[in-house]
Amino acid sequence: LLSEVDLKHPLFAPLDDPRFSDFTKIRFWRHRKLTLSDEAAKTFQVPANFDSGDPAVLETSRGAGRVVLFAFGWQPRESQLGVSSKFIPLVNTLIE
């Protein structure tokens, strides 16, 4: 499960409403376990973690843009994100 979701972060801000902010129904069966060095941890924001404490979403600035890294996939063999009502708002926010 996702936990510690920062609903003030631009990626999750569109879901910052009690009607949309519940992530407990989205199951994750597989994810990548990411370990950041102390130096890398200073440059990355972690707007969401898994309930295990592992980073789920990471973000860093690169030049004039930003890099957002998901430690999971949206395919059915990895998670239920692709069939969740939160999928479209998340993708839309990434595109904007």
pTM over 0.95: no
Asked if 29 and 77 count as a contact pair (C-beta separation under 8 A), the reply is: yes
CA 33 to chain CA centroid, Å, is 14
Asked if 82 and 74 count as a contact pair (C-beta separation under 8 A), the reply is: yes
pLDDT tens digits along 40-81: 889 999 999 999 999 999 999 999 999 999 999 999 999 999
Can you tell me the distance from the alpha carbon of 71 to that of 80, in angstroms, rounded to the nearest whole number? 14
Task: Name residue 68's beta-bridge partners.
Answer: 59
Overall average pLDDT of the 25-49 stretch: 90
- Indicate if the pLDDT at residue 7 is higher than 90: yes
**What mean pLDDT is reported for the chain?**
92
Can you tell me the distance from the alpha carbon of 16 to that of 35, in angstroms, rounded to the nearest whole number? 28
